[in-house]
Amino acid sequence: MKGRLLVSSDIHGHGEALAKLLEYVDYNPKRDQLVLLGDYVNNGPDSAGTLKMVQQLHNEGAIVLLGNHDVRWMKSKEKRKRKWKSVLKEFDSMAKIDHYLFVHAGVNPKKCLSKQKITEVTGFESDAKLSRKIKGKCVVHGHVPTRRYGAKKHRIHVEAHTIDIDTGAGHGKRLSLVDLTHQHVCAVEVDRLKKIHEYSYA
């Protein structure tokens, strides 16, 4: 891969914020690999618009994974949600690139990676006991807001071989775009899209 490996998660209807970040970093799908870790819907202002944007990014080459909120839409009988089922079914639940394993919530430690259930790795089964430690891999995930790990100012949380990038967009806080290639983060407050926050996590 010649370009950057970029990742974002837990967008929750804040497609405008994601677009702002992608524009800011000059994302080019012909050069960069974008990975999205799920939860495109609910909590924010524009779930349908965000899904439409994510679908376009997927068509351009982004790796798009499912989150628990997306699975909830897939299983819903509401007409406005049901119409997105065929789109959501196009998305994966896990991805591996180099030494990184990308997943929304975690993996079932009792099963090999090829046997993981979508409802488990997305966090849809809330009682499933998940692990984010995989030998030989750095697990990049969302689902758990980083503030629960004590992260300050809604920054990402990096610990040993795990990186949590859910910086609270679904709770009105920040959406982050992480450049794994250069260990750099750009983030924006979802209710104030003017200022971009930048920092390195190396």
Structure tokens at 177: 């775009």
How far apart, in whole angstroms, are the C-alpha atoms of residue 197 and residue 142? Answer: 19
Predicted pLDDT at 1: 52
- CB distance 163 to 140 below 8 Å: yes
Predicted local confidence at residue 4, as pLDDT = 98
* CB neighbours of residue 134 within 10 Å: 17
Calculate ∠ Cα 115-118-119, nearest 5°. Answer: 120
In sequence order, what are the beta bridge partners of 186? Answer: 177, 198
Query: What tokens appear for 174 in the block?
Result: 């920040």
pLDDT at residue 92, rounded to an integer: 96
pLDDT score, position 127? 73
Average pLDDT over residues 22-39: 98
Q: Which whole number is the average pLDDT over 123-148? A: 91
For residue 29, what pLDDT is reported? 97
pLDDT for the residue 98: 94
**CA–CA gap between residue 25 and residue 139 (Å, rounded):** 23
Percentage of the chain beyond pLDDT 90 is 90
Instruction: List the single range of 1-5, 17-21, 23-27 with lowest mean pLDDT.
Output: 1-5
Name the CATH superfamily for 5-200: Metallo-dependent phosphatases (3.60.21.10)
What value does the mean pLDDT take over residues 149-171? 94
- Rounded (5°) CA angle 165-19-9: 20
Q: Cα separation of 113 and 50, whole Å?
A: 29
Q: Check whether 202 has a pLDDT greater than 90.
A: no
Sheet holding 33-36, edge to edge: 63-64, 33-36, 5-8, 174-179, 184-189, 192-200
Residue 111 has pLDDT above 60, yes or no: yes
